[in-house]
């Protein structure tokens, strides 16, 4: 009963946030629309990372590679193939998912830290190729002024496109996590041996979740093109991967919306701190240390804990 | 004879020597990383920042002593010690509280440190490139096979590399603290149970590892532009070297550094534009054949 009303409240808040997001372009200045778009797509990237990381217990250290490859896949399809630009948005997630499958097949033999580090090395190979292949990828300059379809080229329509795609992707990710597949995944995270014993194919589940995560990272990458009309090799550098990891941890990596919150906080911080000083990684690092020491479950994880705690107390009182 | 001369052309030989000097720097940094990974199980991303701090400290110290040979030698001793001191403080006040937690937390904590130190270096030394003069006795070049010039400083590096390797091997294998640290890497609780203060052994190992990062930075300083961001690519290379060598294995770090350094310098001969891709490709090949590294890992 109590749980239902709580869920009901959550729905109302969630609905209000979504309505507010749709109304933003009516009253927010253009810069903030751009900022919210970036937060949305980065949040999608972080949420897709959280699928293998938080729910699967896989050390996906180099997630940005799929984001960057998705973005480059879309950008190159749009600028070089001569096909309809929309085609790029189909190519982006598929390229990322394919790369994720290949890297997954190589890395999946190893576990935990070894997995993560092998992934970083494979990802660095991809990065260095993109960084050096001037004739194809534009090298360290990247590709600028990518012609996106007219319908989504104005700031507001780009925003709505990003918002719609992000919401759809989040919905899909939510469904995946709450499906039998998602439960099996969390079972593997908590006890791989026992999961294998009851007949779950552990490696296959992990591989599938990596491909799904790669797919949605590719979606986020193609959204970046819509918002920024540019790609550059930093999008698949390892520092971005760790920044996304930080977002997951900051928001709470055992919660669904935690990574989105983490992305929002990180990007707001970067924008406003770098507005008045050159030093913005310093506060981010300090914030990170505070979270690691005092809020290991992240902000949303902490709030959930408190709510859940009070929930139990109330039930006892009743 | 002609065929032999074509294969072992002076150009090739000089590239090999360039690769070997690079190997020395990579080995010194990677061995410290490997030591910390092997004993403390920390994937220390901060290591790259310490390498950068070592290079900047070398600039400051050698400048403070007039920028000549004396300054360089003082810097070569003081900069790694300074880095080791900083790392000891960090270990005592932060890292030691997290050893029981997941690797992921430790990784992110070291990344947080590297974020903080990236900005601290920017505050202290500014955004500009710094250059450290090569000490007088190492200025100029010697002539190798067929008269190709080879910088004297690189000869010095080639001497330093084996010295560090042997010193490290002696510390780990022949000293008491080294033996304890190897035991603690395998079974921390057991070592604690026989009455050894594991906490300080870990602090010591962490400090030695970071000292090596500082030493690598000090040694590389005269050969490159000391700049912000020099940590980013180096730490990635050091990680790859440690992985292909086998986590925690000092000789593995040496082998990995050799593969990495030579693949890079020879790759440039074969395909200049993509020379930098070759070491990464070599890493992939090694890992496909032996996923847990070439030599035995201590894990």
Q: Identify all chain A residues contacting B292, using CB atoms and an 8 Å cutoff.
A: 110, 114
Q: Where are the domains of chain B?
A: 2-289
Residues B199 and B88: beta-carbon distance below 8 Å: no
Q: Check: CATH 2.40.50 for B2-289?
A: no
First-to-last C-alpha distance (Å) of chain B: 49
Q: Is residue A300 part of a domain?
A: yes
Does position A10 have pLDDT exceeding 60, yes or no? yes
Q: Is residue A27 part of a domain?
A: no
Crossing angle of helices B10-40 and B176-186, in 10° steps, is 70
Does position A2 have pLDDT exceeding 60, yes or no? no
Q: Is residue A23 part of a domain?
A: no
Q: Can you say whether the dihedral through the CA atoms of A291, A292, A296, A297 is positive or negative? A: positive
CATH of the domain at A127: 1.10.3470
CB atoms inside a 10 Å sphere around CB B60: 17
CA Rg, chain A, in Å? 20
pTM greater than 0.80 (yes/no): yes
Q: Is residue A20 part of a domain?
A: no
- B254: exposed, middle or buried (Cβ count in 10 Å: 0-12, 13-18, 19+): buried
Q: How confident is the model at residue A138 (pLDDT cuts 50, 70, 90)?
A: confident
Q: What is the ipTM for the molecules in this complex?
A: 0.84
Contact with chain B for residue A64, Cβ under 8 A: no
Q: Identify all chain B residues contacting A245, using CB atoms and an 8 Å cutoff.
A: 104, 108, 111
Contact with chain A for residue B8, Cβ under 8 A: no
Q: How confident is the model at residue A1 (pLDDT cuts 50, 70, 90)?
A: very low
The domain of A266 spans 2-13+33-317
Percent of chain B surpassing pLDDT 70: 95
Q: Which of B104, B106, B245, B297 to mutate to test the interface with A (most CBs of A within 10 A)?
A: B104
Contact yes or no for A121 and B283 at CB 8 A: yes
Does position A277 have pLDDT exceeding 90, yes or no? no
Q: Is residue A261 part of a domain?
A: yes
Question: What pLDDT is attached to residue B195?
Answer: 85
Q: Is residue A54 part of a domain?
A: yes
H-run or E-run covering A198: none
Distance from C-alpha of B249 to C-alpha of A121, rounded to nearest angstrom: 19
Q: Is residue A28 part of a domain?
A: no
CA of A310, closest CA in chain B: separation in Å?
Answer: 27
Q: Is residue A19 part of a domain?
A: no
Q: What is the mean pLDDT of residues A211-216?
A: 95
What total number of domains does chain A contain?
1
Q: pLDDT digits over B16-34, tens only?
A: 888 898 899 999 999 999 9
Q: Which of B105, B110, B118, B236 to mutate to test the interface with A (most CBs of A within 10 A)?
A: B236
Does position A230 have pLDDT exceeding 70, yes or no? yes
Contact yes or no for B115 and A112 at CB 8 A: no
């Amino acid at each position: 009963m109590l749980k239902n009303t709580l869920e009901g409240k959550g729905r109302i808040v969630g609905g209000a946030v979504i309505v507010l997001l749709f109304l933003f372009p009516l009253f927010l200045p253009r810069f903030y629309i751009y900022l919210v778009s970036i937060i949305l797509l980065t949040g999608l990237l972080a949420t897709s990372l959280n699928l293998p990381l938080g729910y699967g217990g896989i050390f996906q250290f180099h997630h940005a590679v799929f984001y960057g490859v998705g973005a480059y896949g879309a950008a190159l399809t749009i600028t070089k193939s001569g096909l309809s630009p929309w085609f790029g948005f189909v190519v982006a997630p598929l390229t990322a998912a394919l790369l994720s499958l290949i890297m997954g097949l190589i890395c999946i033999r190893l576990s935990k830290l070894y997995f993560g580090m092998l992934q970083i090395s494979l990802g660095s190979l991809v990065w260095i190729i993109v960084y050096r292949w001037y004739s194809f990828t534009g090298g360290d300059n990247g590709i600028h002024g990518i012609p996106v379809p007219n319908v989504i080229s104005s700031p507001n329509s780009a925003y709505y496109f990003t918002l719609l795609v992000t919401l759809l992707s989040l919905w899909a990710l939510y469904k995946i996590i709450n499906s039998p597949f998602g439960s099996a995944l969390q079972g593997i995270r908590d006890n791989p041996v026992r999961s294998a014993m009851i007949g779950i194919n552990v490696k296959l589940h992990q591989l599938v979740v990596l491909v799904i995560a790669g797919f949605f990272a590719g979606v986020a990458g193609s959204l970046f093109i819509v918002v920024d009309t540019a790609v550059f090799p930093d999008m698949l550098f390892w520092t971005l991967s760790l920044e996304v990891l930080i977002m997951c941890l900051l928001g709470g990596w055992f919660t669904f919306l935690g990574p989105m919150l983490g992305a929002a906080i990180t990007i707001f911080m970067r924008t406003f701190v770098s507005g008045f000083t050159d030093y913005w990684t310093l506060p981010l690092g300090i914030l990170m240390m505070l979270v690691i020491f005092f809020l290991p479950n992240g902000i949303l994880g902490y709030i959930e804990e408190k709510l859940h705690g009070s929930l139990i107390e109330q039930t006892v009182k009743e | 004879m002609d065929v032999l001369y074509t294969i072992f052309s002076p150009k090739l030989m000089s590239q090999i020597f360039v690769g070997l000097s690079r190997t020395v720097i990579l080995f010194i940094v990677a061995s410290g990383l490997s030591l910390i990974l092997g004993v403390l199980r920390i994937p220390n991303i901060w290591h790259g920042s310490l390498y950068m701090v070592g290079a900047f400290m070398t600039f400051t110290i050698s400048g403070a002593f007039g920028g000549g040979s004396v300054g360089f030698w003082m810097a070569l001793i003081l900069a790694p010690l300074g880095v080791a001191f900083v790392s000891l403080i960090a270990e005592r006040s932060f890292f030691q509280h997290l050893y029981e937690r997941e690797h992921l937390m430790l990784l992110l904590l070291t990344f947080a440190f590297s974020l903080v130190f990236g900005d601290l270096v920017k505050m202290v030394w500014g955004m500009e490139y710094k250059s450290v003069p090569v000490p007088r006795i190492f200025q100029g070049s010697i002539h190798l096979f067929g008269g190709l010039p080879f910088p004297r400083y690189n000869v010095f590096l080639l001497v330093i590399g084996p010295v560090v390797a042997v010193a490290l091997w002696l510390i780990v294998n022949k000293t008491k603290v080294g033996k304890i640290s190897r035991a603690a890497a395998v079974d921390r609780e057991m070592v604690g149970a026989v009455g050894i203060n594991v906490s300080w052994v870990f602090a010591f190992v962490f400090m030695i590892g970071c000292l090596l990062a500082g030493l690598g930075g000090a040694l590389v300083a005269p050969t490159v532009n000391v700049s912000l961001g020099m940590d980013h690519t180096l730490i990635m290379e050091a990680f790859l070297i440690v992985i292909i060598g086998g986590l925690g294995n000092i000789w593995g770090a040496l082998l990995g550094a050799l593969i990495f350094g030579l693949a890079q310098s020879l790759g440039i001969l074969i395909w200049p534009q993509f020379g930098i891709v070759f070491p990464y490709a070599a890493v992939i090949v090694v890992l496909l054949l032996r996923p847990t590294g070439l030599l035995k890992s201590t894990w």
